[in-house]
């Protein structure tokens, strides 16, 4: 009984980004209320209206007027899902926060399992979408699989395939996430970068309850490109790698042509023409240019890393769950000093 009272004293924040979700707000609210009220869990629901053009804002205000546990953040325009989630986490006051979509594809019935894994010691509990979603378009499923393979190939942070934004985040992780200042962000990527103990819960996404998905293929491609740029420096270095390959190919080829045609007077009767020789020379020069761009990219990568201003490290206080940060001073400017008791 004592443990149960301790659990109930922990406020749970639910962060829900919304964009034109008028048909989903009420059923989602009722589903969450039923799950958490039945379990006697204290909770708050933070709806973040991401510049909706339908009746979503008025419905959210109405809910907030009848239930003090509902809080509404109205963004002045559509900033995108990642920024909306960030706004919600910035305002979350719970011991843990659960991020979920408003379309009911992230089932509220899974919340008790997320909480159970958290209370077992996990500080990040990730909802993993089960594969084989027959109702999802084939192109989207293929693109999703390719995205995760490429991300894990070019980034240092390993991302579990089909991991979603439906996840529980402990207070210590929320505090770390709120320190990030970068604008071009991928929420799940940043949370994976932060680390901490994690657990995974598989679920089968339901069909969208009402309305149409706001993420078009163009937005999904843009999100994938932003993920590569923000979580990996490989695209920046790709030109250098390509130039090196070209140089290693065209250099020996050019040397072979020089020896075979001009020093050995074409003993193999290859009859290499002038345009072919010119093409090899141009190819070699292109390789030099790309390698030079790659060297410049190393400096740009350093600037990119410094501008992001991510924490140099995140350490856990021995014997506790709260992190202890170092005092970092760079170029005479105090960046951050945060010591949690």
Q: Which helix (H) or strand (E) holds 227?
A: helix 217-231
- Concatenated DSSP letters of 111-151: HHHHHHHHHTT-SEEEEEEPS--TTS-HHHHHHHHHHHHHH
The pLDDT value recorded for residue 78 is 84
- Smallest CA-to-CA distance from 40 within 77, 72, 9, 15 is with 9
Model confidence pLDDT, tens digit, residues 55-88: 888 888 888 888 888 898 888 888 888 888 988 9
Model confidence pLDDT, tens digit, residues 248-265: 888 888 888 888 777 887
> How far is C-alpha 175 from the chain's CA centre?
17
The pLDDT value recorded for residue 284 is 84
Cβ-based neighbour number of residue 207 at 10 Å: 10
Model confidence pLDDT, tens digit, residues 202-230: 888 777 656 566 555 676 666 666 666 66
- Concatenated DSSP letters of 318-331: TTSSSEE---EEET
Using DSSP bridges, classify how beta strands 70-75 and 124-129 pair: parallel, antiparallel or unpaired. unpaired
Q: Tell me, what DSSP letter sits at residue 259?
A: I
First to last CA, the chain: 28
Q: What is the dihedral of CA 130, 88, 189, 108, to 10 degrees?
A: -10
Which pair of tokens denotes residue 178? 């709120």
What angle is formed at CA 281 by the lines to CA 261 and CA 251, rounded to 5 degrees? Answer: 80
| Residue 199 phi, psi (nearest 5) | -135, 165
Model confidence pLDDT, tens digit, residues 98-115: 999 888 888 888 999 999
Q: 211, 23 in Cβ contact below 8 A?
A: yes
Residue 126's alpha-carbon distances to 2, 71, 153, in angstroms, are 28, 24, 21
The pLDDT value recorded for residue 96 is 92
The pLDDT value recorded for residue 171 is 92
Which pTM value belongs to this model? 0.66
Of 142 and 181, the structure prediction assigns the larger pLDDT to 181
**With 70 as the cut, is the pLDDT of residue 337 above it?**
no
| Residue 183 phi, psi (nearest 5) | -85, -45
Model confidence pLDDT, tens digit, residues 285-316: 888 888 888 778 777 776 766 666 665 455 55
Residue with tokens 């922990």: 10
| Residue 33 phi, psi (nearest 5) | -60, -40
Cβ-based neighbour number of residue 218 at 10 Å: 8
**With 80 as the cut, is the pLDDT of residue 15 above it?**
yes
- 288-323 per-residue burial string, b: 16 or more CB within 10 A, e: under 16: eebbebbeebeeeeeeeeeeeebbeebeeeeeeeeb
3-class SS of residue 2:
helix
- How far apart (Å, rounded) are the C-alpha atoms in residues 18 and 100? 10
What's the whole-number average pLDDT of the chain?
76
């Amino acid at each position: 009984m004592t443990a149960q009272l301790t659990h109930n004293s922990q406020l749970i924040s639910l962060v829900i980004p919304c964009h034109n979700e008028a048909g989903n707000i009420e059923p989602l609210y009722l589903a969450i209320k039923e799950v958490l009220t039945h379990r006697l869990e204290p909770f708050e629901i933070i709806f973040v209206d991401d510049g909706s053009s339908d009746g979503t804002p008025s419905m959210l205000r109405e809910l907030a007027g009848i239930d003090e546990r509902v809080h509404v953040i109205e963004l002045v325009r559509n900033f995108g899902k990642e920024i909306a989630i960030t706004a919600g986490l910035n305002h979350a006051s719970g011991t843990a926060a659960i991020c979920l979509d408003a379309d009911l594809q992230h089932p509220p019935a899974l919340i008790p399992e997320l909480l159970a894994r958290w209370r077992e010691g996990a500080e990040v509990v990730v909802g993993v979408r089960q594969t084989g979603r027959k109702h999802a378009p084939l192109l989207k499923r293929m693109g999703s699989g390719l995205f995760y393979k490429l991300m894990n190939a070019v980034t240092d942070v390993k991302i579990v395939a089909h991991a979603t934004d439906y996840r529980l985040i402990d207070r210590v992780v929320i505090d770390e996430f709120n320190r990030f200042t970068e604008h071009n962000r991928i929420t799940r990527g940043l949370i994976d970068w932060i680390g901490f103990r994690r657990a995974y819960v598989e679920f089968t996404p339901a069909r969208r309850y009402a309305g149409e998905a706001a993420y078009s293929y163009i937005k999904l491609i843009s999100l994938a490109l932003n993920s590569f740029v923000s979580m990996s420096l490989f695209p920046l270095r790709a030109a250098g790698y390509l130039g090196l390959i070209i140089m290693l190919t065209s250099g020996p080829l050019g040397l072979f042509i020089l020896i075979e045609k001009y020093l050995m007077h074409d003993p193999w009767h290859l009859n290499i023409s002038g345009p072919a020789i010119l093409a090899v020379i141009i190819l070699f020069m292109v390789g030099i240019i790309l390698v030079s761009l790659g060297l410049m990219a190393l400096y740009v990568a350093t600037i990119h890393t410094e501008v992001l201003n991510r924490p140099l490290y995140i350490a856990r206080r021995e014997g506790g769950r709260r992190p202890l940060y170092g005092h970092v001073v760079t170029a005479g400017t105090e960046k951050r000093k945060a010591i949690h008791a």
